[in-house]
Chain A
Amino acid sequence: MPSSVTAAESQAPEHWLSYAQLVSNQFQTWLSDSGDESVVRLHAFMQERMLQEGTSAPPAALVVRVWIASSGKVERLEFASLGSAQADADLRSLLTSRPLSESPPPDMRQPLILQLDLTFVTAV
């Protein structure tokens, strides 16, 4: 279970939390695929944005709201714009273009709300 747990999480059934962890980790894997052109582009954009802002601090966490179909496919995704139409499209594509490895629990309330810290490495 993630280290920061909200009151809402502590009341959620364990199998919901398990599924949420799965989604979170699978998103991480997709966003870390250095062989994917969209990932490289997104990482480059985030790096450039930091340089323009003149800060060395990591960017604020991005909150994404995710709706997942019974097929495991992400059918709807909402997040605040990253400030670039291309970056937004890349992020959306990376998280919606393929199904998750499992279907969501039928009883789980949606959307799933995840906080993604978009850290990056200089050499991708």
Chain B
Amino acid sequence: MTVGKHQVGGTHRVWAAFALMAMSSLAGRGVGAAELQTQASGVFLNAAGDVLTARHAVADCESLFLVKDGRIAEARIRALSERSDLAVLRSALQPYLNATLPRTDLDSLNGIGVFAESYESLQRLPDRHRVVSNAMTIPGRGDLQLLSDVKPGASGSAVLGSGGLLIGIVTGRAAFGPSSDAGVVALSKAASSRPRHGVTRVRAVPLREIKLFLLDNQIPFQQSDAAQLGPLQSPAARAATLAVGVICG
């Protein structure tokens, strides 16, 4: 199979945080992924390296950095949503691949298997090429809700649906019970004071709000209704490819 021309070479200017220089991350040589604790997650949106994440994880940060496979780069906020818990960051990091959003609005998302996991957990996930799904959608009140055991640090992580398409962004954990508005706990590490374990109800910004936000802010993104993953490919591995870690300083 032939793919069109691809250009290689060139430079990537990667900036290391002053506080992290001791870890020898200069010049893009990188550090051990385990050494860098990320507070939240994000997902690459386009070839330019725009990253979609949760607004609450980045809005009040004095400095921001993005981490990917041992490379770290300073980031800036490109857009903040006024309506949803969404933000877009830009850094010098460029993705191997960016997320694809469904072109067609989704009718029903009740009871389907999806995948969502924080950047940090994805780095440690054993045999991730075998993982098919780790969460299930449940009815929500105008938003996307999952039954999931994602832990703090998952704010901003992608919810991948059928065919590896991006259908949501994780933002917080909701209390069970008749009211899904009460008891929402953000899933960034900074905002989560009490770690919870086990499967809980997790909230995510749904597709239509993501698209509105990106279109309003003229952020390029890829759309397709064609599956980006074959039936035997792991969404966990794709999630790891698309994911980026967020450090808030």
Complex contact A116–B6 (CB within 8 A): yes
Shortest CB–CB separation between residue A33 and chain B, in angstroms? 7
B237: chain A residues within 8 A (beta carbon): 101-103
B229: chain A residues within 8 A (beta carbon): 15, 18, 105
Of residues 20 to 67 in A, which have CB atoms within 8 Å of B's CB atoms? 20-22, 24-29, 31-35, 43, 61
Binary interface encoding of chain A residues 2-26 relative to chain B, with 1 for a CB under 8 A from any of its CBs, else 0: 1111101100111111101110111
B8: chain A residues within 8 A (beta carbon): 27-28, 31-32, 116-119
Shortest CB–CB separation between residue A18 and chain B, in angstroms? 5
Complex contact B29–A35 (CB within 8 A): yes
Complex contact A117–B10 (CB within 8 A): no
B97: chain A residues within 8 A (beta carbon): 18, 21-22, 25
Q: Name B30's closest neighbour in chain A (CB-CB).
A: A35
Q: Name B12's closest neighbour in chain A (CB-CB).
A: A32
Task: Tell me which of A6, A105, A118 contacts B2 (CB under 8 A).
Answer: A6
Question: Bound state CA distance, A26 and B237, in angstroms?
Answer: 14
B2: chain A residues within 8 A (beta carbon): 6, 8-9, 113-115
- Best-buried of B12, B230, B238 by chain A (most CB within 10 Å): B230
Contacts A25-B97, A35-B27, A103-B129 known; A117 to B227 CB distance under 8 Å? no
Q: Does B198 sit within 8 A of A, measured CB to CB?
A: no
Contacts A15-B233, A101-B237 known; A32 to B10 CB distance under 8 Å? yes
Complex contact A20–B230 (CB within 8 A): no
Q: Does A83 sit within 8 A of B, measured CB to CB?
A: no
Task: Tell me which of B3, B28, B129, B233 contacts A17 (CB under 8 A).
Answer: B3
- Best-buried of B2, B3, B228, B232 by chain A (most CB within 10 Å): B3
Q: Does B131 sit within 8 A of A, measured CB to CB?
A: no
Complex contact A109–B5 (CB within 8 A): no
Of residues 202 to 232 in B, which have CB atoms within 8 Å of A's CB atoms? 224, 226-230, 232
Of residues 1 to 57 in B, which have CB atoms within 8 Å of A's CB atoms? 1-12, 27-29
Q: Name B225's closest neighbour in chain A (CB-CB).
A: A14
**Besides A6-B2, A120-B9, 6 other CB < 8 A contacts?**
A2-B6, A4-B5, A18-B229, A21-B3, A34-B27, A117-B9
